[in-house]
Structure formats: C-alpha cells, structure tokens
C-alpha cells in the first residue's frame, strides 16, 4: 500500500488529497458475530467505496477496518460533499444472513503539498484528522497543524484517566431532585467528578468523550455503577433513609454492549442494593446509535426493576420516538429551556407542552438547571412535578449530600415488633 501511495508521489508537482476512513463498529461486529461476518462487512464496504469513488487514484485497505482513498486534488467545496457521500453510503445497513448491521465511519482528510511533504506524512496527517473526526458529530475532520497537539493532549488525558481508574481517584457528586410543591427530596443524580493532580478539574463531558475514544468507557461505566451503589449502601448503613432511586448517566457503549445490565446486576449484589434503587438516565442521541440492541438492554433493566429517565428532553431529534419505546419513569426537561423561561417565551410554550405530554404518559417531570426562584415559581404554576438546579443545591460529595438532605429512617422502623 505504501508503495502504491509513494508511486502517486513520483510527480512532485501533482497535488493529492487523501481520505482516511475508519469504520465505527467493526470490532464489535467481528467479536460478536465472528470473522466470516467481519470479512463480509469489509467486502461490502470495499465495493461501496469503489462504486462511489470512481475517480479515485487509489482505494486501499490499510488493515483492520481502515481504508484510504487517494485523489488528485479536488475542488475544496467538493471535499465535504464527497466525504458526506462516503459516510452516507457507509451508514446504509449491511445485511448478512438476514441480520442488519449498522456500521458507519469516521473520515480524516489531508492534502499534499499543503499539509505535508511526503506520502508517509500525508498518511499520518489524514490519520490524525481521522482521530479528530471520531469525536465529531459529523464524522469528518480536515487536517490542520494544531490537531496533532490537541490529539497528544487527549492521549495524555486518557493515560491519566486510566491511572485514575486504577487508583480509584474519581468521585461522584450528588445533586438533589426536589418536589416543587412540597420542597421535599424525591431523587438524586450521581455526576462524575475528576480532579487530577496534573490536569486539574476535567469536566464529565470531556471524561466521557475521552473514555469513548480510548476504549475506557466500559471500565468507567462499571466504576460509576459501583460508586453509586457504594454511596447508597453507605447512606443506608448510617441509618439514613433513601426512599428514591439514585440516577446514573449512561453512555451509548454501555447499552450497545449490554455491559450496563451486567454492571448493575453485579454491583447490586456486591453492595446489597436493590435494582429499584437505581435509575438510568438516557438521552436520545444514545438510543439513536444502536436502537435495537439498546432497546433490548433497557427492557432487560426495567424487568430487573431499574428505573428509566429520559435526560435532556427536547434537545435530540427523536424525543417522541424514544418516549414511545419505553415506559419512562421520569422525563427531564433540558437546561436550555429553563434558562430563558419567562411568560410568552418560545421555551415557555415548549415546557408547557412537555409537562402535559409527560403527565399524559404518567412520567414525573423534572426541570433541569433551575437557578432562580422565578424559574421555580413559573414551573410550579405550569404543573411541573420536580426540579433540579443550583437554586436548590449544587452537586455535592456523598457525605455532604447526606448530611444536608437525607433523614434517619423513622425510629419505628428500627423498633422490634
């Protein structure tokens, strides 16, 4: 392959463009369905590439699930269109033995001579862009000089994260859900926290994105389930009542590979927690990534007694579709609608309609990101059941949360019959 690429460099004044393509779910398909299925997926992908990139100078598989497409320079406007076309072609299901496999891909793009001086460097630049593409919604990234240092920084964070997991140096913070009419506590969300000695405070969204990219998510997901169960057990051991589920956020990969089901089952057993004491928070984007497998896992969890909340409601494309798939226990209206909530604002109408919808479906509605009394008052007038936000309390360490919010189990429950 390197030789073919080098050949294209025989004419130094030729301008070349390279797409570096990596398939998204190939390893999982190979592991789950076997190598014959994996080989068939690669064959279909090769055919699709050849059929859609007819003017390519070279199409080659680099090994594993990585392909490159080399072109003579293409018009800059065409780069994005071509990449989108490739990604669309790849996202069509591949049917093998009657089963539909969804793969999709990520594409990095680089140019010669603008980005490099040799065939090796062109390949390396496109590879770097491909890594960047993996963390973008679009699945496409065009190489630039800053990218290398950004990727090195992410690599460093991933190494520190692996170490933090080994050393149990992460923590969970707990934020209450409050009943808006009685001001009483009706639930709590566990949110990931990590203050690293070198990196400082790393926000959870970044931790998750790094864990996804560097295949640490399975370990991290298990750690979160364990830490939440440990906290519940710790509160109960102190004689405190925890009469509501503790919510944990779940990432797509945990549903896709079913690990969340195993982790909750295992950790409930280890820490003596009942599955009904756990609630998982799902977003639409998570369900969209692997709809059928994820649906089965969620149904399995519900069978165990685990509660389900729909998180960030209103921010995805298929909120309603998602609601149809599960009987969710809670529906959480996204922060963004609460920020500019005042009478007659567009958010007001959406929030009003969402509350009616959730009530019709029998879910508890939780408004996220309440920061002011006014927002709480408006939401209560609209009939919103519960709220979460800095107005009530910030996410707190487990001990402070329990001191501030939990009450001892009623004495009568301790007294002998």
Contact residue for Mg ion among 311, 313, 347, 375 (CB under 5 A): 311
Give the single-character DSSP code of 193: E
The H or E element spanning position 114 is: none
The answer to whether residue 329 forms part of the interface with Mg ion (CB under 5 A) is no
Q: Which long-range contacts (CB under 8 A, 24 or more apart) does 202-205 make?
A: 202/157, 202/161
The mark string for 236-275 relative to Mg ion (x by CB under 5 A, - otherwise) is -------------x--------------------------
Q: Is 231 in the site for ligand C2E (CB under 6 A)?
A: no
**Of 356, 318, 350, the residue nearest 334 (C-alpha):** 350
Least Å distance, CB 341 to ligand C2E, is 12
| Of residues 216 and 406, the one with the C-beta less far from ligand C2E | 216
Of 110, 157, 103, 158, give the one whose Cα is nearest residue 130.
110
* Closer residue to ligand C2E in complex, CB, 56/378: 378
Residues in the chain: 417
- Kindly state whether residue 312 participates in binding Mg ion, applying the rule CB under 5 A: yes
Q: How far apart are CA 86 and CA 103, in angstroms?
A: 13
Q: Which of 253, 279, 311, 329 touches ligand C2E by CB under 6 A?
A: 311
The site map against ligand C2E for 385-404 (x = CB under 6 A) is: ---xxx----x---------
Does the footprint of Mg ion cover residue 284 (CB under 5 A)? no
Which of Mg ion, ligand C2E, none is residue 390 near (CB under 5 to 8 Å by kind)?
ligand C2E
CA–CA gap between residue 204 and residue 157 (Å, rounded): 13
302 binds, among ligand C2E, Mg ion, none (CB under 5 to 8 A by kind): none
Span from 117-125, 202-210, 356-364, 377-385 in contact with ligand C2E (CB under 6 A): 202-210
CA-wise closest residue to 227 among 396, 398, 395, 406 = 398
Q: Cα–Cα distance between 351 and 384 in angstroms, integer?
A: 9
Residue 119 binding ligand C2E, by CB under 6 A: no
Q: Of 115, 213, 312, 329, which one interacts with ligand C2E (CB under 6 A)?
A: 312
Confirm or reject binding of residue 375 to ligand C2E (CB under 6 A).
Answer: no
- Evaluate whether 167 touches 148 at the Cβ level (below 8 Å): no
Label residue 340 exposed, middle or buried (CB < 10 Å: 0-12, 13-18, 19+).
exposed
Rounded to whole angstroms, how far apart are CA atoms 11 and 283? 51
175 vs 295: CA distance, rounded Å: 27
Residues that bind ligand C2E (CB under 6 A): 175, 191-192, 203-205, 208, 224, 248-251, 281, 311-312, 335, 368-371, 388-390, 395
User: What residue ranges bind Mg ion (CB under 5 A)?
Assistant: 249, 281, 311-312, 368
């Amino acid at each position: 392959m390197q030789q073919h690429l080098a050949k294209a460099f025989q004419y130094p004044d030729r301008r070349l463009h390279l797409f570096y393509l990596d398939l998204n779910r190939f390893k999982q398909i190979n592991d789950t369905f076997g190598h014959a299925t994996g080989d068939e997926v690669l064959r279909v992908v090769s055919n699709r590439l050849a059929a859609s990139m007819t003017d390519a100078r070279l199409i080659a598989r680099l090994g594993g699930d990585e392909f490159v497409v080399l072109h003579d320079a293409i018009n800059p406007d065409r780069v994005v269109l071509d990449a989108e076309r490739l990604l669309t072609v790849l996202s069509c299901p591949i049917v093998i033995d009657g089963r539909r496999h969804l793969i999709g891909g990520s594409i990095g793009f680089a140019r010669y001579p603008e980005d490099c001086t040799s065939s090796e460097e062109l390949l390396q630049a496109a590879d770097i862009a491909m890594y960047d593409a993996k963390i973008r919604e679009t699945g496409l990234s065009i190489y630039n000089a800053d990218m290398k240092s950004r990727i090195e920084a992410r690599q460093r964070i991933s190494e520190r994260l692996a170490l933090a997991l080994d050393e149990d140096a992460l923590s969970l913070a707990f934020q209450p859900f409050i009943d808006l009419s009685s001001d009483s506590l009706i639930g709590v969300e566990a949110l990931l926290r990590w203050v690293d000695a070198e990196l400082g405070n790393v926000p959870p969204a970044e931790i998750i994105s790094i864990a996804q990219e560097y295949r640490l998510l399975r370990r991290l997901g298990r750690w979160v389930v364990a830490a939440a169960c440990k906290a519940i057990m710790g509160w109960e051991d102190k004689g405190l009542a925890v009469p509501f589920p503790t919510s944990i956020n779940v990432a797509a990969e945990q549903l896709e590979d079913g690990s969340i089901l195993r982790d909750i089952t295992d950790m409930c057993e280890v820490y003596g927690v009942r599955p009904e004491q756990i609630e998982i928070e799902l977003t639409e984007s998570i369900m969209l990534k692997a709809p059928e497998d994820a649906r089965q896992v969620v149904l399995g969890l519900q069978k165990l007694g685990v509660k389900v909340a729909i998180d960030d409601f209103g921010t995805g494309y298929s909120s309603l579709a998602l609601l149809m798939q599960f009987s969710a226990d809670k529906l959480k209206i996204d922060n963004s609608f609460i920020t500019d909530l005042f009478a007659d604002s567009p958010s007001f109408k959406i929030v009003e309609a969402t509350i009616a919808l959730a009530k019709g479906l029998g879910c508890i509605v939780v408004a996220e990101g309440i920061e002011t009394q006014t927002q709480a008052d408006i939401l209560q007038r609209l009939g919103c059941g519960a709220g979460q936000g800095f107005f009530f309390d910030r996410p707190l360490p487990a001990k402070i949360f329990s001191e501030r919010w939990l009450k001892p189990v009623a004495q009568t429950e301790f007294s002998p019959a």
